[in-house]
A and B are shown apart, each in its own frame.
Chain A
Amino acid sequence: MLDRVRLTYKQQRFETLAVAVMCLGAAAWALLASWHLNSVGVPASCLVDGGVPYWNGPSNASWIPAVCQLPSQRFTEALTSLDVGLASSLGDVLPFFVGIAMGVPLVARELEQGTAPLSWSLAGARWKWLAGRILAALLLIVPLLLIAGLAADVLRGAQERGIDLHASFHYFTSRGVFLVLWGVAALMGSVALGALLGRTMPVVVVALIVCLFARAAWEPLTDRYLLHGMAVLEMPGVQSPGELLVYQSDVLYLDGKVYTGTDCWVSNGVPGCQYGPGDEPDPSSIGPQLAWYVITGDHYWQVVALESAIMLAGSAALGALALFWVGRRRPY
């Protein structure tokens, strides 16, 4: 098995090197961007609710104490700079790039170049041959993506001072262990597609489209079907740091209770009120409002574990499909 793992790296020299360079480069870049943000040196006394006040130009900064204006400006400039912007978007792209680049040629190239019959006959069992190759890819991408994911965590921490990264749902599917999970899912999907289609370019095209849709649909779908039952009601005006807004209530609340008055209603998710003369509430009252169902930051690890389990199960299913199909298909 060790020989097969080593041979896989040799056969896919370019992809192995490209993936290693990209992951380590992205991690180094994210750490540099974090250092760039941290080096601004915003004094702790300038933080508002744990975060650095956003600088909107001198004319909109009258509420920021004078001593904090320059650090706030420098921090905002660093935050909106190209290097920080690019580094933070890498978390959404890198795992798919890595998974597809490693997964596509694993089976498809052997079939396309006509070397599959020889490889399969030498290996004894086709599934053993593929398992060795998948293992080699996993051994490469898991540690590399973990490094990149941890660097993305550090960058998010520098971008949003005062949040506890492991008790906050801010961009939680674009950092940390999720980079590994996305990468493994993309790898398994690409291997399965390669076993089914047997051609490199078609697999690249289909894998890119599938990954794009999966990534874009993941959060709305998990909010609707997976996390719906875990969310708890949060009264209007209350907010906890790092919470995940799952869905909005369809009834109005006032002063912590359901509002039963007939002068206010909800239509298409929008509250409206029609008060009779003399019944108008106090001007300082916000009136009846819709509430949100949320998952608070202290449930971070439960949500991560749940979503991780689903992604790993999906990846395992795709891997099983590839192992099954490679045993049945024609070797060309």
Chain B
Amino acid sequence: MRARIILTFKQHRFETVAVTIVSVGLTVAALIEAYRLNSLNVPLSCLLSYHGDFVDPSQGPITAAQAHCNELAKSFFDTKQSLDMNLVQLLLLLVPLLAGIVVGAPLVAREIEQGTAPLSWGLSGSRRRWLLGKVLAGVLLLAPLMLAVGLAANVLEGALSPGLNPYASFSNYLGRGVIDVFWALAAFAGTFALGTLLGRTMPAVVVALVVCFFVRAAWDSGMGHFVLRSFAVPQVQQDQQNQQIGYVVYGPGGPAFADMTLYYKTFIDGKEVTDAQANAWYAQNMVCTPIPTPSDSTSPAEAGSPGASSSPGAPATPDYSNMGNGGIACQGPTIDPSHMPQQIPYVIPGSWYWQIVALESGILLLGSLFCGAIAFVWVDRRRPY
């Protein structure tokens, strides 16, 4: 078996060397990018208070201390949004799938295509044993390389979202860590199964690329809809505050959250209502009375003053007035805020990271085994050309 594994690496020299160079290079690049971000030493408070280069009118001219903080934060976000960082992030997402396809496509298909399959199968005694040796070689190549890539992606994720523990957060969790190994194995198994069925390299590559694209794109919503939905729990108030304070980094790159939000439920006075019922409630109670916009008003402070109410003399109510982009201005109801519709997010808490990763890795592994089984059955039955 050892000789067959070594022979497979020799037969697929280009693929072996290419996948190794790309994976090791990507691992090093991800670690360098993480080091670049970490070496900026930007305080979390500066990242939280940064709102981009453009100072919003409501913030007014900023002070020297805030400007220094902004300067640090800008360096961080400039690095985060730089071309090299985007390329590394994109490659971290794609490399596990591409590596699986590149190694898997020629494994069986090339032998059949080039007409060497009858000789190989004749010499090895059993076609299944022959395929097992080649598959083992692929797994031995891919598993350690993808583990290195996944761990480097975890380090980079920690640097990209300071304050987030990559092992207790679902931010970008499908593109980093141990799950990278299972993506690569699934792509590998699917591709060599296709190669066994089709017996041609290019068609196997083309079909595998299309299938992997759709599976990867649909995985998030498919898992959220069919598998994880039943595990979701209501996010408690404390967690919501943590999301806002401790575990969120807002910035031009967008927020990163520890919890995975799957859906929302709306409650009125403790009773669950549908979106249509909540909308009906707002339509009934949130009467939009046009009020002058600040630009039209002689006194901007009056237009948006806190506690403004559509009913003069009403008890103190929270300010629900807001400005639309087109200058639409509305005022809210004069009722107790505790009777307003409450939206509760249903989430998978970040602390369940390992359980969810184990579940999704298990599903990917099952899929890989299924594809592998098809290949092992088919290679025994098919014609060797």
Contact = CB atoms under 8 A, between A and B. Distances in A.
Interface stretch (B133-141, B208-216, B238-246): B208-216
Contact of B22 (A101, A209, A273, A288): A209
Contacts of B105: 201
A122 interface: no
Interface of B: 14-15, 18, 22, 53-57, 60-64, 66-68, 70-71, 74-75, 78, 83, 86-87, 90-91, 94, 98, 102, 105-106, 110, 113-114, 200-203, 205-207, 209-210, 213-214, 217-218, 221, 264, 266, 275-276, 278-279, 281-283, 286-288, 300, 320-326, 328-330, 332, 340-343
B300 A284 contact: yes
Interface residues of A, number: 68
B209 A287 contact: no
Contact of B332 (A62, A200, A212, A236): A62
Contact of B328 (A22, A63, A69): A63
Interface of A: 14-15, 18, 22, 48-49, 53, 57-59, 61-67, 69-70, 73, 82, 85-86, 89, 93, 97, 101, 104-105, 109, 112-113, 199-202, 204-205, 208-209, 212-213, 216-217, 220, 236, 248, 264-265, 267-275, 280-281, 283-290
Contacts, number: 180
A58 B209 contact: no
A287 B328 contact: no
A274 to B, nearest CB: 4
A201 B191 CA distance: 13
Listed residue (A58, A213, A283) with the most chain B CB atoms within 10 angstroms of its CB: A58
Contact of A58 (B60, B78, B278, B326): B278
A272 B62 contact: yes
A62 B330 contact: yes
A268 B74 CA distance: 8
Given A59-B343, A86-B218, A216-B83, A273 B202 contact: no
Nearest to A90: B213
Contacts of B276: 70
A286 B148 CA distance: 49
Nearest to B281: A58
A271 B328 contact: no
B202 A280 contact: no
Nearest to B75: A268
A14 B282 contact: no
B264 A57 contact: yes
Contacts of A22: 210
Nearest to B106: A201
A87 B41 CA distance: 40
A268 B61 contact: no
A186 B194 CA distance: 25
